A and B are shown apart, each in its own frame.
Chain A
Amino acid sequence: MKFTRDWLFDHLQTDRSLDEILEALPMLGLEVESVVDRAEVLAPFTIAEVLSATQHPNADKLRVCMVSTGTGEPVQVVCGAPNARAGMKGVFAPVEAFVPGIELTLKAGEIRGEVSNGMLCSEREMQLSDEHDGIIELPADAPVGQPFAPYAGLDDPIIEIAITPNRADCLGVRGVARDLAAAGYGKLKPLDTAPHQGTFDSPVRWQLDLGGQDHLCPSITGIAFDNVTNPASPEWMARRLTAVGQRPISALVDITNYVMIDLGRPLHAYDIDKINGDTLYVRLAKQGETFAALNEKIYDLSSDMLVIGDADGTDDLAGVMGGERTGVRAETTRMFLEIAIFDPISVATTGRQLNLHSDARYRFERGLDATAPQTMAGHIARLVTSICGGQASHAVEAGSGVDWQRQIDLTPDKLTQLTGIELPADRQQHILEQLGFIVETTATGWRVTPPSWRGDIDGAADLVEEIARIHGFDHLPVMALPRTQEVPQPAVNAAQLRPLQLRRALVECGLMEAVTFSFLAPKEADLFGGGAAALTLVNPISADLSVMRPSALPNLLQTAGRNQDRGEVDCAMFEVGPVFLGDQPTDQRTACAGIRHGHTAPREWHGQRRRVDVFDAKSDAEMALGVLGVRKASLQVDKSAPNYFHPGRSGVLTQGRTKLASFGELHPNIASHFGLRGPIVGFELFLDDVPLAKAKGPARSLLKMSAFQPVSRDFAFVLDADVAASDLLRAVKSAAGPLLSDIQLFDVYQGKGIEDGKKSLAVTITLTPQKATLTEQEIEKISAAVVALAKKNCGAILRG
């Protein structure tokens, strides 16, 4: 919402400075977005006269002008404007002036060999409008040498404030003034609300054809004007409209825009001579009907849209935009003015469906002063005749009336109860009355009727807010939140703690934490088993971000690709975040995924660098599961990893039948989809799949440490290459029995000395006796059992 200082002061009688008002506005809930004082910005710009304008010797489109600036010798300026000519008056910016429209500080210089000391300006260069066809031409009597801004009435600062959706009343300057007056920043000047007096019967009347939906247009007033002229607006009006970004068009159009900003009241003006018949029908559009709007676009209407039209069709998209066919134009002499209340939801729906935004719609959908069709008619009609002459008709009205009056019960202690602010009852009442509320005293407190322009007020809490904000939020007491316990409970429960712990642990393992978007491209969703229609956004910001992700891996892979493009191939990264298996709350999982791309370390002389492989991913997955309370020894592995992994170099970590994590080398097709050049491995698990450990209390089980010497024995087995190492380890473990304290597979070998189709696996076991040192015979017995079971279960032969 934009207005100027003087415009505000039309409604507010005050001796406060603009600065004081600008300080006050945000504390009333009217956030100041910008203040532009054009007189300050344009201070160096003066009125000048072009004494001569001759063709530039070296450029067809340039002229060399001698400019009188009112002081000293004439200044030479090279000018490209086609209208620059001797004898004209314009606006001159001297060297050193900052020209806002081109964001440039002028310097003395030469243009194509001719000296140029300043600039003759267009409106755009001074940011007055988009006009840039030529330089500004001022009237012949403009005083040369005088500052331009005050001469042009530009010394009126422009204020822009943000209006929250509840404050439709402040979408007019008067509403802003009313708030300031209530807060003690002056007095609201009276508005001439004398009733409208017409002199003849309107040749146009309303007819509501709403099929029972009369609430769509509860009140509409029309006034016809005869013998009006439609010249350019008076200068004061044109200046104000220009200042707030409305282009002046003609007096009749400008009056409707002016009233909209002044009083927050949109209007629509019809040319009576263009209306077919004597009736304007307020009705729902016909399905498929087209409508040519004032913005020169054609819209296809549907049957739930409220319109106003004559016998020939639609003339106004109610509350959204008027029509081209019957709109006023320069030659209009008979005008019919519409002052209406439309259903805000209907206006909002129509605007949204047509993607049609307008200042009128913005106001209608937020709710207007419910009594305006009656109370503002006189003021508006007098404004029209005072500028455009002519006579106004009697008003024609329709509609069943707006049901806007509400009573809200309030007690003076409600303010303290909700806000902690203590304020005497009479002061509270005064604030409400200043804002236009009617306050009646009842046995228990007050009965408050909000004014017709405050449709947002619907309960005691709203009234408390009005009192508190006008009194000032600075008066809110500062109270510490009462403690519930001296030493608070943890803020997170066991499940909520897990992501925090996982993140720390994975960083400790050398993986960088990433946060990536929850959505991705359909192709990638598809590759990772997702992409269901129910999870595809209807209105994505781009196709690349259109599907809710089924896995966090694709985003991480994309990230590895981006870092590779920046020259960093080696990349180890993880994310803990949501993935979506469906659109229900129970379909959301918290995934933990990690990738490693390239090498394990930078090139360095210790030889730590090696290509990442599937066992890096397996280790990451086991570590992550460990953080979640799953012991590594309790895990099995199977080969059922999803198909985006390499079929022969991937696996799933399971506990019993429960699949907990998948890991592996990514499928070469996936790697190439993401353009990854290095070896690429990854893992993923869903935290929700890993049951929470039963709460056991902090005490650990008692540790028993053996006093006896542990012994180790090594075994090298030869077995079929396709037997899983885990099977052999399980056999060895089982045979070694209860004394086994450690088992390591320390060598895997295939090649020379080993038959084709076979492999050698070397295992070391550590036996820790509990009761007495092991004898050679006891060790021998266990070794024999290991060898026997390895042979029986895995066909493994002890290597000679």
Chain B
Amino acid sequence: MQGLDAQSLKFVSDEIVQAVDAAENLDELEAVRVNALGKKGRISLLMRALGGMDADARKAAGQALNIVKDQVAAALESKQSALAQAALNEKLATEAIDVSLPSRPNSEARLHPLSRTIEEVLAIFAEMGFQVAEGPDIESDYYNFTALNIPPEHPARQEHDTFYLPANADGQRKVLRTHTSPVQIRTMEASEPPIRIIVPGRTYRSDHDATHSPMFHQCEGLVIGNGIHMGHLKGCLIDFCRAFFGVDDLPVRFRPSYFPFTEPSAEVDIGCTRDGGGLKIGAGDDWLEILGSGMVNPRVLANCGYDPEKYQGFAFGMGIERIAMLKYGIPDLRTFYDSDLRWMRHYGFLPFDAPSIHAGLVGGAG
């Protein structure tokens, strides 16, 4: 039996630590541990020998032995962790995968540019206090024409290229609405001023070529109140055009025109430049027509039961496809309804990218 003097203890300690260092794997290390700290291990045996000592000697030797035991335990633990890490590293090395392989495919689905554009328009007019109103696509002649001061055989009717449904027993024939303006009438009939509505919707005209589609989308606006005049129309539409196109200094021009349901009437042009086939919205040497507008014709107000001496207001209408094409550089109207997946992936919008005043109105490329 070895002694418990300091020299002997150091010898034991060094010997065990060397054995720990020499262990090459967890099994060997366990053998070293058993040899040192197991029931019959060297340190355990030395512990047991303490029992035969007198009190003072036992205290001194015990303290020394405990230090050795702690040193050995620490060495074992450190080695154990090193060996475990090495073993894990070895295992991980065998688990390598070619991470250059493609990942699982993401969805390529996109929102249609028309939905996106309508929401952009709504976001701007919502900020100006407008509410959305809607009406049916199949309209009566009255709402689509007569109430809007377009009597039968009026030349303005011919310009509408109207789709007709068969006449009923009374000889009345429904039409597919040629504009969203009937919703002006429906709204005024159903409510009292003040009115501020914006009306997105499908519209139809029997025309089909490179620049016309038998179905397209319009957005109508109507403001009725006290003292609403054409200066407000101008301010409102300038604000809209600049916000929609995201051009702060966009020139906006109001030009006299004619719509039976407004008087005075104005067409609205925005500034642009064209060079080499390219079109750029903004201050430039040319103009692009984008909107029709005017003060609501007193006859229309009277048709809706409003007193034209008391109330006045303005209305406007624009083609959604047209402003979407101009803003997002989409060259061909007809492609909007083709549902060509290539087109939709290219011109569509990500669903979380909702237009708003706080987050902005310019949709990013998906």
Chain A residues with CB under 8 Å of chain B are 26-29, 31, 164-167, 344-345, 348-349, 352, 365-366, 416-421, 459-462, 464-465, 468-469, 473-474, 476-485, 488-493, 496, 500, 503-519, 533-542, 545, 548, 556, 559, 562-563, 566, 568, 571-573, 577-578, 580, 583-585, 587-588, 601-602, 604-606, 608
**Pairwise interchain contact B132-A496, C-beta atoms closer than 8 A:** yes
Chain B residues with CB under 8 Å of chain A are 101-102, 104-105, 107-112, 114-115, 119, 122, 125-132, 134-138, 152-156, 158-159, 163-166, 168, 173-174, 176, 194, 196, 198, 202, 204, 206-208, 214-215, 223, 227-232, 234-236, 238-239, 253-258, 260, 263-267, 295, 297-299, 312, 336-342, 344-345, 348, 350-352, 354
**Pairwise interchain contact B153-A365, C-beta atoms closer than 8 A:** yes
A536-B165, A588-B136 as given contacts; A504 in contact with B256, CB under 8 Å:
no
**Pairwise interchain contact B115-A517, C-beta atoms closer than 8 A:** no
CA A490 – CA B131 in complex, angstroms? Answer: 7
A481-B128, A481-B235, A508-B351 as given contacts; A537 in contact with B256, CB under 8 Å:
no
Across the interface, A490 reaches (CB within 8 A) one of B126, B158, B164, B206, namely B126
**Pairwise interchain contact B107-A510, C-beta atoms closer than 8 A:** yes
A165-B159, A479-B235, A601-B105 as given contacts; A541 in contact with B214, CB under 8 Å:
yes
**Pairwise interchain contact A583-B264, C-beta atoms closer than 8 A:** no
**Pairwise interchain contact B129-A485, C-beta atoms closer than 8 A:** yes
A345-B153, A473-B266, A481-B128 as given contacts; A420 in contact with B230, CB under 8 Å:
yes
**Pairwise interchain contact A517-B130, C-beta atoms closer than 8 A:** no
By a CB distance below 8 angstroms, the chain B residues around A518 are 137, 176, 202, 204, 215
CA A26 – CA B239 in complex, angstroms? Answer: 23
By a CB distance below 8 angstroms, the chain B residues around A606 are 104
**Pairwise interchain contact B156-A165, C-beta atoms closer than 8 A:** yes
**Pairwise interchain contact B351-A504, C-beta atoms closer than 8 A:** yes
Across the interface, A608 reaches (CB within 8 A) one of B105, B129, B337, namely B105
Please give the distance in Å from A565's CB to the nearest CB on chain B.
11
A507-B109, A563-B341 as given contacts; A365 in contact with B129, CB under 8 Å:
no
By a CB distance below 8 angstroms, the chain B residues around A165 are 154-156, 159, 258, 260
CA A583 – CA B176 in complex, angstroms? Answer: 10
**Pairwise interchain contact A608-B223, C-beta atoms closer than 8 A:** no
**Pairwise interchain contact B166-A348, C-beta atoms closer than 8 A:** no
CA A513 – CA B366 in complex, angstroms? Answer: 14
Of all chain A residues, the one with the shortest Cβ separation from B230 is A419
By a CB distance below 8 angstroms, the chain A residues around B253 are 474
**Pairwise interchain contact B138-A511, C-beta atoms closer than 8 A:** no
Interface centre among B111, B153, B223, B354, by most chain A C-beta atoms within 10 angstroms, is B153
By a CB distance below 8 angstroms, the chain B residues around A473 are 254-256, 266
A461-B297, A465-B263, A469-B264 as given contacts; A26 in contact with B255, CB under 8 Å:
yes
CA A483 – CA B344 in complex, angstroms? Answer: 38
**Pairwise interchain contact B165-A507, C-beta atoms closer than 8 A:** no
**Pairwise interchain contact A420-B257, C-beta atoms closer than 8 A:** no
CA A568 – CA B163 in complex, angstroms? Answer: 34
By a CB distance below 8 angstroms, the chain B residues around A571 are 341
A164-B258, A465-B264, A481-B236 as given contacts; A605 in contact with B102, CB under 8 Å:
yes
CA A349 – CA B102 in complex, angstroms? Answer: 68
A419-B231, A541-B206 as given contacts; A481 in contact with B129, CB under 8 Å:
yes
**Pairwise interchain contact A602-B105, C-beta atoms closer than 8 A:** yes
Interface centre among A31, A344, A481, A559, by most chain B C-beta atoms within 10 angstroms, is A481
Please give the distance in Å from B122's CB to the nearest CB on chain A.
5
**Pairwise interchain contact B155-A513, C-beta atoms closer than 8 A:** no
**Pairwise interchain contact B105-A604, C-beta atoms closer than 8 A:** yes
CA A480 – CA B232 in complex, angstroms? Answer: 6
A-B contact pairs, 19 of them (CB 8 A): A345-B152, A345-B153, A348-B155, A418-B264, A419-B295, A459-B298, A459-B299, A473-B266, A480-B236, A488-B126, A491-B130, A492-B122, A507-B350, A517-B214, A538-B163, A539-B206, A541-B214, A566-B342, A577-B202
Which 3 residue pairs across A and B have the least CB separation, nearest first? Answer: A420-B231, A29-B256, A164-B258
Please give the distance in Å from A119's CB to the nearest CB on chain B.
29
Please give the distance in Å from A501's CB to the nearest CB on chain B.
10
A491-B131, A536-B165 as given contacts; A479 in contact with B344, CB under 8 Å:
no
By a CB distance below 8 angstroms, the chain A residues around B122 are 491-492
By a CB distance below 8 angstroms, the chain B residues around A419 are 229-231, 264, 295
Across the interface, B231 reaches (CB within 8 A) one of A164, A479, A563, namely A479
**Pairwise interchain contact A563-B229, C-beta atoms closer than 8 A:** no
**Pairwise interchain contact B264-A515, C-beta atoms closer than 8 A:** no
By a CB distance below 8 angstroms, the chain A residues around B155 are 165, 348, 365-366
Please give the distance in Å from A674's CB to the nearest CB on chain B.
13
**Pairwise interchain contact A488-B339, C-beta atoms closer than 8 A:** no
By a CB distance below 8 angstroms, the chain B residues around A462 are 263
**Pairwise interchain contact B230-A476, C-beta atoms closer than 8 A:** yes
By a CB distance below 8 angstroms, the chain A residues around B255 are 26-27, 29, 31, 473
Please give the distance in Å from A443's CB to the nearest CB on chain B.
18
Of all chain A residues, the one with the shortest Cβ separation from B103 is A606
Across the interface, A568 reaches (CB within 8 A) one of B126, B215, B229, B341, namely B341
Besides A345-B152, A488-B129, A562-B340, 18 other A-B contacts (C-beta < 8 A): A165-B155, A473-B256, A474-B253, A474-B254, A476-B230, A478-B238, A481-B223, A481-B235, A508-B352, A512-B348, A516-B337, A534-B166, A537-B164, A538-B173, A563-B341, A566-B341, A571-B341, A585-B135
**Pairwise interchain contact B126-A537, C-beta atoms closer than 8 A:** no
CA A736 – CA B115 in complex, angstroms? Answer: 46
CA A166 – CA B235 in complex, angstroms? Answer: 26
A365-B153, A507-B351, A583-B174 as given contacts; A513 in contact with B258, CB under 8 Å:
no
CA A577 – CA B344 in complex, angstroms? Answer: 17
**Pairwise interchain contact A488-B127, C-beta atoms closer than 8 A:** yes
Of all chain A residues, the one with the shortest Cβ separation from B130 is A491
Of all chain B residues, the one with the shortest Cβ separation from A345 is B153
By a CB distance below 8 angstroms, the chain B residues around A534 are 165-166, 168
CA A517 – CA B206 in complex, angstroms? Answer: 13
**Pairwise interchain contact A537-B165, C-beta atoms closer than 8 A:** yes
CA A706 – CA B6 in complex, angstroms? Answer: 61
**Pairwise interchain contact A538-B166, C-beta atoms closer than 8 A:** yes
Of all chain B residues, the one with the shortest Cβ separation from A468 is B264
By a CB distance below 8 angstroms, the chain A residues around B298 are 459-461
CA A421 – CA B254 in complex, angstroms? Answer: 14
CA A505 – CA B339 in complex, angstroms? Answer: 19
CA A587 – CA B297 in complex, angstroms? Answer: 31
**Pairwise interchain contact A166-B258, C-beta atoms closer than 8 A:** yes
**Pairwise interchain contact A512-B108, C-beta atoms closer than 8 A:** yes
Please give the distance in Å from A26's CB to the nearest CB on chain B.
5
Interface centre among A365, A417, A459, A478, by most chain B C-beta atoms within 10 angstroms, is A478
Please give the distance in Å from B120's CB to the nearest CB on chain A.
12
Across the interface, B339 reaches (CB within 8 A) one of A461, A482, A563, namely A563
Interface centre among B231, B253, B297, by most chain A C-beta atoms within 10 angstroms, is B231
**Pairwise interchain contact A28-B256, C-beta atoms closer than 8 A:** yes
CA A556 – CA B338 in complex, angstroms? Answer: 10
By a CB distance below 8 angstroms, the chain A residues around B125 are 491
Please give the distance in Å from A486's CB to the nearest CB on chain B.
10
**Pairwise interchain contact A507-B126, C-beta atoms closer than 8 A:** no
By a CB distance below 8 angstroms, the chain B residues around A492 are 122, 131-132
CA A416 – CA B3 in complex, angstroms? Answer: 119
CA A434 – CA B130 in complex, angstroms? Answer: 41
CA A503 – CA B118 in complex, angstroms? Answer: 13
Interface centre among A420, A516, A584, A601, by most chain B C-beta atoms within 10 angstroms, is A420
**Pairwise interchain contact A417-B339, C-beta atoms closer than 8 A:** no
By a CB distance below 8 angstroms, the chain B residues around A488 are 126-129
**Pairwise interchain contact A515-B258, C-beta atoms closer than 8 A:** no
CA A557 – CA B173 in complex, angstroms? Answer: 31
Across the interface, A514 reaches (CB within 8 A) one of B153, B194, B344, B354, namely B344
Please give the distance in Å from B366's CB to the nearest CB on chain A.
10
By a CB distance below 8 angstroms, the chain A residues around B236 are 480-481
**Pairwise interchain contact A465-B256, C-beta atoms closer than 8 A:** yes
**Pairwise interchain contact B164-A461, C-beta atoms closer than 8 A:** no
CA A481 – CA B313 in complex, angstroms? Answer: 11
By a CB distance below 8 angstroms, the chain B residues around A563 are 339-341
